[in-house]
Structure 1
Amino acid sequence: MTEQSRRTGKSTRTAPKRWSSNWRNWSGEVSERSQMAAGPTSETAVKALVIGAGGSQLPVKVVGAGHSFNDIAATEGLRMHLDDYRGLVSVNEQSRVATFRGGTRLSEIPGLLAPHGLALANQGDSDAQTIAGAISTGTHGSGLAFTGLSAMVKSLRIVLADGSIIYCDERMHPEIFEFARLGLGALGVIVEVGMQCVPAFRVEATEGAEPLDEVLESFQQRSRENDHVTFIWYPPAQRAYVKTFRRLAEGEEPEGVPPLSRASRFMDGEIVQNWGQGLLSSVGAVAPGIVPRVNQVSSNLMWERQYVADSHEVFVSARRVRFNEVEYAVPFEAGVEAVRAIQRLITDNDWRISFPLEVRTAAADDVPLSMAYQRDSMYIAVHRYRRESHLEYFGAVEEVLRDFDGRPHWGKLHSLRAPQFAELYPRFNEFVALRDRLDPDRVFDNHYLERVLGS
C-alpha cells in the first residue's frame, strides 16, 4: 500500500479571514447572528474551540457553503467555518480512497484528484458544498446504480463534544462510523473524510426536450437501461427536458460526438440556466399571470445537444439564480405516480410556478439516515424563485409526497419532526441514542436538530 500526501490544507491568504457574526444561507431564506465566529486552521484549533465552547455552554455549529436551504447550519452560539482547513490529505493508490480535510469544496476535488487519475463515482448538480457538509446532509447525484456521497465514505476523523478526536471506519468505532456518514452535524465536527474514488472517466451526454407524457411513461425503464437519467419540467408546459448520461470505458471516444466546447458550456450554463432563468423568474415574480407563457419559453430555450466531457463537467451545473427547494425521495416504483400527483395539484390550484420540477434516481444504500436507505429511490424536487412565496406550494407538495412514503432531503426545506422521522427510518432511534451518548450536553445542538431529533 502506498500513500501520497499533499500539503494543500493551508489557506493561500496572507492573513486570517475575520469572520462576521452575521450569516445568511445561499438562498437567503435563513439568516442569524451568532455570539462568536471562528475559522480554525488546524485540528488542534478545532478541538480547542469545541472544548472552550462546551465549557462556556455555548453551542457549536460548523457551516460549510451555506448551501442547505433550511437552518441545519444556523446557531446563536459559536459558528465555525472550515474554509481555512481544506485540501487533499492523502491518496491510497491501491484502494483508491482519497482523504480530504472537512472544509474542502466539492468544486476543488476534481483538480485534487486529477494527478492521481481518479474521480468521484458520482456527483450532484451543484459543487459549491464542502465535503463534510455534503455527506452530513445527504447530497446525491442521479443514476439507479449509484448511491449518494454518504455511501462512498470509507473513513472519518471527528472531533467529539468532549474534545476527543477519533478515527472511525468499518473496523474502528464501526458503530459511530455507520451513522456519522450522514450525521446532520449532530455527532461532532468532521475534520477529515475518506472517500472511495474510481478511475477518472468521461461521459457522453444526450439532452433534449420530449413530450412530458412520453417521458413519464418511459422514465422507469430508461432509468434501468441507462447510467444516469434526469428530467426537468416547467409546469404547465407539455414538454420536459431530459438528460441522459452514459459513462464511457477507458479510451472510448464515441464517433461523431463532439467534446463539450467552451462556447456550448457558456451558452447553456450562463445564458440559458442563469441569465435566462433569472430574467424569466424575475418577470414571473412581478407578473404571475404570464408564468405559463414564460415556462413555455423556458422549455423552448433548452435545445437538443450531444457531447462528451469529463464526468464532473457533465454532472455539475452552475447555479447563480437563487431559489428555495423541497426534495423528497420516494420508492422508485412509486415515483412516476408521485410526479403525476404533483402535476394534478398544480393544475387544480392553477398555480403559476416559474421554477422547474426536477426528477432523479438513486440506488439503495446502507447509510441509516440516507433518504435512499434500503430502497431504490426516485428524488423529486420542487423549487420557487427566492422572491416568490413558497409556503402554500411547498406545503401541499409535501403532503403529496408523504402519501407516497417520501423521505425529505435533510438539507432542504421540509416540515417534518422527530416522531415522523422515527416512522420513516428503521434505525432512527439508534441514531438518537448514539447522539445522546456522544453529545449528552448538546454541544452541537441547534433549533433544527431539536425539531428533527427531539430535545
Structure 2
Amino acid sequence: MTRPGGKWQNWGRSESVRPQRVEYPASVAAVQRAVEAAARRGMRIKAVGAGHSFTGIAVAPGVLLELDDLAGLVDVDLARSRVRLLAGTRLHQIPALLAPYGLAMQNLGDIDRQSIAGAISTGTHGTGAAFGGIATQIVGVTVVTASGELLTVGDEENADLLPALALGLGALGILVEVTIQCVAQFVLRAVEHPEPLDEVLATLDARVAASDHFEFYWFPHTDVALTKTNTRLPASTPREPLPRVGRWIDESLLSNGVYRVVCAAGTAAPGIVPPFSRLAVRLTGDREYSEVSTRVLTQSRTVRFREMEYALPAENVRPAFEAMRALIDARGWRISFPVEVRFAAADDLWLSTAHGRASGYIAVHRYWREDPTEYFEAVEEIMLSFGGRPHWGKMHTLDAATLRQRYPRFDDFTALRDRLDPDRSFQNRYLERVLGE
C-alpha cells in the first residue's frame, strides 16, 4: 500500500530524506511489484527497517520501502533448529516467536529495535570471543533482485553466495526472508561490576578468553571500567532476575531518565560532565542476576546519540584504547557518553568487520545534539592506524578506495553487485561512497 510520503529520518537524526515515493509492502510479491515499478520509472529503491543505522546506508531519495508490514514467522524446522522469518521482523519480536519451540538466537547486540534484515545487512554484533555477529547466524536468505526476480540462497541453492548476501549492505537486492540457525533456549548469569580500568586492561585477553560474553564500558574522565561478564547456562537453571524496582531504577531512572537530563545540560555547561561521569560509575553497573538470554543481552536505550565503531584485530584493542584515552585527556574534551569495548569471533562473510580475524570493537558516542566531528575523526585516525574496519551502520569517513585495502573479498563483492544490480537500482550516496559507482 502506498501512503503519502514525508520526511524520513533515522533514529540518531544524522540522516534524513524526502523520498519521491513511500510504499509499505505486506508480502514478498508486493516487494517484487515495487522493484519492477521503480525500474520502469527509472527510480532507485531502498528498504528501511528501524532506521537505527547512523550512516546513510538506508537513505532512499527515490522509492522508500518501509518493511514494518513484512514481519513474522514463515516456517520452523525443529529438526535443525532453524526458523524462517520475514525480513521486516524486529529483533525484539523474535524471542516471543521462538519461545514456543524452545529456541533462541545464539547471540544478540545490546539494542533490539532493529529489523532482522537491517541488523544483518549492516553487520550488527554482540560480544563473545566464540560468537560471530548476527549475520553469521544466517543460513539462508531470499532476495528480490533488480529484475524483480526472487533469488534463494541456502544449503541447497546458491550456497556460494551466502557469505555475500548475509551481510550485503542492501546493495545486492531487497531481503524479504531470512533463515536463522537457532540454539536451544538458555539462561545467562550476569555479573556486572565496576573495576579499576588499568586492571581490566592489564587482564583483558584473559578475561575475554575465560568468558562466554565479556565487555566493558568506560566513562571518560574516570579511572573505572564497568565490566559485564555473562555465562551461558541451561534453560532449566533456576533464574534469579533483578527485582523489578531495582531494575527500573538502574535502567529507566538512572541510565535513561537522569542521564538524558545530564547530557542535555552538558551541551550548554560541559564542566558538569566529568563529575557526573564519576558519580555514574558509583551508582550503576554493580549487580548480579540470571535471566533468559534475551533479557540479559539486550537493554533499553532511549537517550538519543550518534555513534562510530571500529573493529580491530583483537590483539590491538588494548593499545588502540590506550591511545584513544590519551587523546581525550590531551584534547580536554568533555565526553558524556561512555566508550564501549566488545569482542567477536572471526568469520568468512565477505564484508564482515570480523572477516578472517578474531576482533575487538571500540565504539564511541556523542549526545545527538552535540557535533561529533572532531572527536570521531580523531578517534578514527587512531583506529585506522591499528588496522580498523568501520561498522557499516555507524559513522565513519572511509571510501571504496580505502575499504578495498581492508577487505580481501571486496572486489568479489562488487563483482557480484555488478552481476545482480548492473544499473544500480539499489544504489544511494552512501553505497556509492563505500563501494564505488
Bin for the TM-score computed over the shorter chain: over 0.9
Distance 1:303 1:182 in 2: 33
Question: Quick one: which of 232, 255, 260 aligns to 1:247?
Answer: 232
Distance 1:261 1:187 in 2: 46
Contact 1:170 1:178 in 2 (8 A): no
Counterpart in 1 of 2:435?
453
**Amino acid paired to 2:297:** F
Distance 2:317 2:343 in 1: 9
Structure 2 matches for 1:405-416, cutoff 5 A? 405-416=387-398
Q: CA RMSD in A?
A: 1.2
Q: Deviations over 1:300-325 (max 9, x none)?
A: 22142110111000000101000000
Match status 1:440 vs 2:414: no
Question: Quick one: which of 83, 99, 105 aligns to 1:98?
Answer: 83
Contact 2:129 2:209 in 1 (8 A): yes
Structure 2 matches for 1:137-176, cutoff 5 A? 137-176=122-161
Counterpart in 2 of 1:213?
198
Question: Quick one: which of 115, 119, 142 aligns to 2:100?
Answer: 115
Match status 1:374 vs 2:356: yes
Task: Tell me by how many angstroms 1:272 deviates.
Answer: 1.9
Pairs aligned (count): 437
Distance 1:210 1:269 in 2: 20
Question: Quick one: which of 73, 79, 98 aligns to 2:64?
Answer: 79
Question: Quick one: which of 331, 334, 347 aligns to 1:365?
Answer: 347
Counterpart in 2 of 1:283?
265
Distance 2:334 2:53 in 1: 25
Q: Deviations over 1:344-380 (max 9, x none)?
A: 0101111111111000000111111100011110010
Alignment partner of 1:326: what SS?
A: strand
Instruction: Among all aligned residue pairs of Structure 1 and Structure 2, give the percentage whose two residues are the same amino acid.
Output: 46
**Amino acid paired to 1:437:** R
Contact 1:339 1:380 in 2 (8 A): yes
Question: Quick one: which of 12, 17, 22 aligns to 2:7?
Answer: 22
Match status 1:130 vs 2:112: no
Distance 1:17 1:292 in 2: 49
> TM-score, normalized by length of structure 2?
0.98
Which consecutive residues of structure 1, in runs of 5 or more, have no partner in the other structure? 1-15
Structure 2 matches for 1:176-255, cutoff 5 A? 176-253=161-238
Alignment partner of 1:405: what SS?
A: coil
Task: Tell me by how many angstroms 1:19 deviates.
Answer: 5.4
Task: Tell me by how many angstroms 1:195 deviates.
Answer: 0.4
Counterpart in 2 of 1:6?
none
Higher deviation after alignment, 258-267 or 100-109: 258-267
Contact 1:90 1:98 in 2 (8 A): yes
Counterpart in 1 of 2:301?
319
Contact 2:119 2:134 in 1 (8 A): yes
Which consecutive residues of structure 2, in runs of 5 or more, have no partner in the other structure? none
Counterpart in 1 of 2:325?
343
Counterpart in 2 of 1:423?
405
Counterpart in 1 of 2:241?
259
Contact 1:155 1:177 in 2 (8 A): yes
Question: Residues 404 and 75 of structure 1: is their aligned pair in 2 closer, same or farther, counting only changes over 3 Å?
Answer: same
Distance 1:19 1:302 in 2: 45
Task: Tell me by how many angstroms 1:17 deviates.
Answer: 8.2
Contact 2:2 2:22 in 1 (8 A): no
Contact 1:100 1:192 in 2 (8 A): yes
Distance 2:278 2:263 in 1: 13
**Amino acid paired to 1:429:** D
Distance 1:178 1:19 in 2: 37
Contact 1:284 1:294 in 2 (8 A): no
